Structure formats: structure tokens, C-alpha cells
Chains A and B, each alone.
Chain A
Amino acid sequence: MKAFTYERARSVEAAVKAAASVQSARFIAGGTNLLDLMKLQIETPAHLIDVNHLGLDKIEPTQEGGLRIGALVRNTDLAADQRVRRDYAVLSRALVAGASGQLRNKATTGGNLLQRTRCPYFYDTRMPCNKRRPGSGCGAMQGMSRSLAIVGVSDACIAQNPSDMAVALRLLDAQVETMAQGGAKRTIPLADFHRLPGDTPQVDNALQPGEMILSVTLPKPIGGIHVYRKVRDRASYAFALVSVAAVFGQNGQARFAFGGVAPKPWRTDGADAAASQGAKAVAEAALAGARTTPHNDFKKALLRQTLASLYRQQEAQA
């Protein structure tokens, strides 16, 4: 790792202030992604601001009947929370489908939203990568792209967002609450939080430099049957090739969000509108405009079959 200085922030305001005053400072929460990237010198912050002790580790009801999840709530605690298990089961299911038990004990809600792509070319510093080194090119498009995105991609980047948690949060219409430099708070819908790569793939999300995630809010429960189906190369502890988060409601209505196929948690109005027409229609609507490589074209069929499997399961249980 490159040398850095470290401080333990004493308040949210102090953390945000510190981030503004030191160049190339980064917040550190669980550290499970950031430290990995620092060891590889993909991330080289000069200063780390430890935000683990700011009281942001609580889950509280909101006035609107939803939940406010502190940015520092660990993945394990969020998945195990009784209210989440009861009212937002798709979130519990998505969380426990991700990473390993050890990592979930450390990884946080805010950190999970900020985790970077697992594209092999982003991780290999000998390779070109527009996300890691803007303008250097993309090694993936003509390379090993099997795991990478097929919708929302650009000529500059086809990296996928690796999060399971974010797919469930997207399905649930979560919002991200932040504090920016100067102390101003704002709310960002999760739909707008992660960016598509366009010609600036190095910018993953809507946060400004030094802006800190305080919490994630969930609207009041929507009922229905919650499922999260993840397809991967091994039964556990692997990133998704494709994943589907779904809530099945009455009269054939359902909503869907997808992981493993896009640079951000993927959700389309068309897919939800096609719910009553079955898996094939939902998959076609979700992947409209897909741009695949010979290596990852299989994801179209895999997503369709995964949806078909979910539909069969719902019919069997109805």
C-alpha cells in the first residue's frame, strides 16, 4: 500500500470537514473493498477518515412508515433485522446472497453502495481500463468479458456493478441521504445514485468529492412475495452472472430489478409493465438495447431462464 495518514473522525461534521481539507482523502468504513484496492494500488488515498464510530449504525423507523438504515449498518445486521426480514425480505435475501459471512460482518450499507466493479481489467493494473485510468482504453471488450455488463454500457466501458444489496434497494425505491462539503444534506434516489459509464466511466456515482453517505431510507412496505435469485459459477461466495430481485403482487403484477447485467442496479418500467405477460416478455423489456460480446451474450438467455424459473416457482406456490 502507498503510505497514508489515518484519523478516526469524532463526528459526521468533522469527517466531512476533514475530507474537504485533505487532498485525496477517503472515508473508510468496513474497508473490505477499499483496502483490497489499496493493496493493488488501484486506490491510493493520502488520508483515511475512519467513520466507524459516528453512531451511524442504527436502523430506525421513518415518519412515512419506512426504515432509515444508517450508512454504517453492517450487512449481517441489516439482513438479520426483524423488520427487514418481515417487510423487506428481498433485501435480506440479496444481502445473504453476497460475499461471505466474514465479509458481511464488516461490510456496511454505505460501503456496499460504493464498491467498485469486479471487472478483471479494472483489477489488473497492467491492462488498459478507462475506469481505472481514463483514456487508456478498454481491455474487456475484446477480452474476457464473460462476467461483464450487457445493458447500459458504452464504447468506453462494459464493467458491471457487483452489488446484490443495491439491486434489492433499487427494487424497493430506496433513497440515499448524504452530507456534502459545507454540511448541506441532500437525498438522492437510488435510481440516480449509480451512473452509467458514458464517456466518463471513472465516475461511478452521483456523490461529489468529499460527500458522505449518512443513511439509506426505505419507503413503507409494499407487501407481496419477495424473492432474490442469483445465478453464479459456484453455489456460494461468487459474484452474480445474473440476478433477479422481484416482488410478486396481486393479479399478475410484479416489479423486477436485475444484477450482473449492467453498470448499475438495473430496473426498467417496461419490465414491470410486462409482468403479466410472463418471463420472456419481462426479459425482453429488461434487456432492450442490449449490447453483448461473444463471451457474455449467454446472459440474455440466462436472465430469461432465471425469470422463467421464478415464474414457475410462483405458480407452484400459488
Chain B
Amino acid sequence: MTSDGFTRRHILQGSAAATAVVPGLTQAAPPARSVSAQEGSRMMALDMKVNGRDVHLQLDPRTTLLDALREHLHLTGTKKGCDHGQCGACTVIVEGRRINSCLTLAVMHEGETVTTIEGLGTPERLHPMQRAFIVHDGYQCGYCTPGQICSAVAVLEEIEAGVPSHVTQDLDHVGWSDAEARERMSGNICRCAAYPNIIAAMRDVAGEDKA
């Protein structure tokens, strides 16, 4: 990954940079593209706080949170992989928790706070997890990476909060280990199999947090 790091890093950073000028993040969001009017669905108003900004949308109730982010707010960092909650590419953080944005309706999140990869950090001020993924080459093609990073950030918080996992030996003592990270990241698939480097990036940030 070292020889072509330029391309991948700049794609990753570039995608973050693009968000700074995304028109959808302004108060007046672009008009919804749905065809539902002909199909009998009523459009619904939706207010959310996305990456620190208040957004207002008119949506067909069928619109998933993922499609609202990508198609209506043009926050394309969050990826659509399987669209069935199996791959984790769509992972975002809602009200402080990581969820699959493909398996939830946008209208169910009225008044809630959403953080996507674009909201975690900027090219100038990368989130520690974003920096760690770059340092440890925690990605290859990069498609799953926004979901991996959102998930990884939330995983460290879940461990900190004492949420047990399938590999937790003692339910009353939850702490970092590579095995814990691997188990907790099992909802994020990487077809390039960057898993060892993703774990290395998480281990790095977990260590930083404790230092």
C-alpha cells in the first residue's frame, strides 16, 4: 500500500474535503427526488441535526436514512453496500450509537443527531481514528472504510461504557483486546480483507485514549 498511498489517501481525504462545500448541508436542502407522489405516498417533513448542522427535508416515508444522507443531503461518504444490513458500509452514528443506516427510515429520526464520516473530522483536523486508518493502511479500495471508521469509533466507546460482547470472558469486566475489537467489528465486511490493519488502527487509538 506504500507505493500507491498517494492515490488512496488523497481519495479518502478528498472525499472528506468535498463535504465542506456540500450544498445539501445548508439550511435549504435540495428538493427531494422521490417519485412517490405518483405512487400514493405522502411526502413528510423531517428535521435532523447532521454533522452539527440543522437540516430540513421533505421525504417519501420509504426513504432510508442512508438514502436521505446520500441522495438528498449529498453526503456520499456513507456507502451503500448490500442495502440489507449485512455489510456495514452504511454505518453511521445516530444519537451516539452506530447503526446500519440502510435498515432504518429517515422519518424515524425526527429531531435526532446524526454523525457521518464527514462529520467525524476534516482533512485539516482528522479524527484520531481517521488518522490511524491512514497510518496503519486500514483500507485498500476504501469502499467500506467510512463504515469501518464510524463503527470503530463507536466500538471504543462501547468498550469504555462496559457493553459486553460475545468474546467477553467476564461480563463485569469489559476492556480492550484484539479479540474484542474483531468480534465487535464483525458487522463491517471488508472484501479487500484489510482487517489486520483495521485492528491495528483501533489498537493505536485505544492506546492513545488511555495515555
Contact = CB atoms under 8 A, between A and B. Distances in A.
Given A101-B98, A101-B187, A4 B62 contact: yes
Nearest to B150: A102
B64 to A, nearest CB: 7
B100 A1 contact: no
Nearest to B182: A236
Contact of A102 (B60, B84, B151): B151
A97 interface: yes
Nearest to A76: B163
Interface in B148-193: 151, 154-155, 158, 161-166, 168, 171-172, 182-188
Contact of A5 (B41, B105, B186): B41
3 nearest A-B residue pairs (beta carbon): A100-B187, A236-B186, A6-B61
A115 interface: no
Interface residues of A, number: 36
A36 interface: yes
Interface residues of B, number: 45
A92 B171 contact: yes
B42 interface: yes
B188 to A, nearest CB: 8
Interface in A73-126: 76, 79-80, 85-86, 89, 92-93, 96-97, 99-103, 105-106
Interface of B: 36, 39-42, 44, 60-62, 64, 83-85, 88, 91, 97-100, 103-105, 107-108, 110, 151, 154-155, 158, 161-166, 168, 171-172, 182-188
27 contacts: A1-B62, A3-B40, A6-B44, A6-B61, A6-B105, A6-B107, A28-B108, A35-B103, A48-B105, A50-B108, A80-B163, A85-B164, A85-B172, A93-B166, A96-B165, A100-B187, A101-B154, A101-B155, A101-B165, A101-B186, A101-B187, A102-B98, A103-B103, A103-B187, A106-B99, A106-B104, A237-B186
A39 interface: yes
Contacts of B85: 32, 36, 100, 102-103
A195 interface: no
Interface in A1-20: 1, 3-6, 8
B102 to A, nearest CB: 8
A220 B36 CA distance: 51
Interface string A232-267: 000111000000000000000000000000000000
B187 A97 contact: no
Contact of A4 (B41, B88, B104): B41
A31 B166 CA distance: 23
A101 B161 CA distance: 14
A236 B100 contact: no
B91 A102 contact: yes
Given A31-B108, A80-B162, A103 B100 contact: yes
A85 B171 contact: yes
Contacts of B100: 32, 102-103, 106
Nearest to B155: A101
B51 to A, nearest CB: 19
A208 to B, nearest CB: 25
Contacts of B183: 235-236
B61 A96 contact: no
A92 B42 contact: no
Nearest to A6: B61
A48 to B, nearest CB: 7
Contact of B84 (A31, A36, A48, A237): A36
A48 B108 CA distance: 11
A181 interface: no
A92 B174 CA distance: 13
A35 B166 contact: no
B166 to A, nearest CB: 5
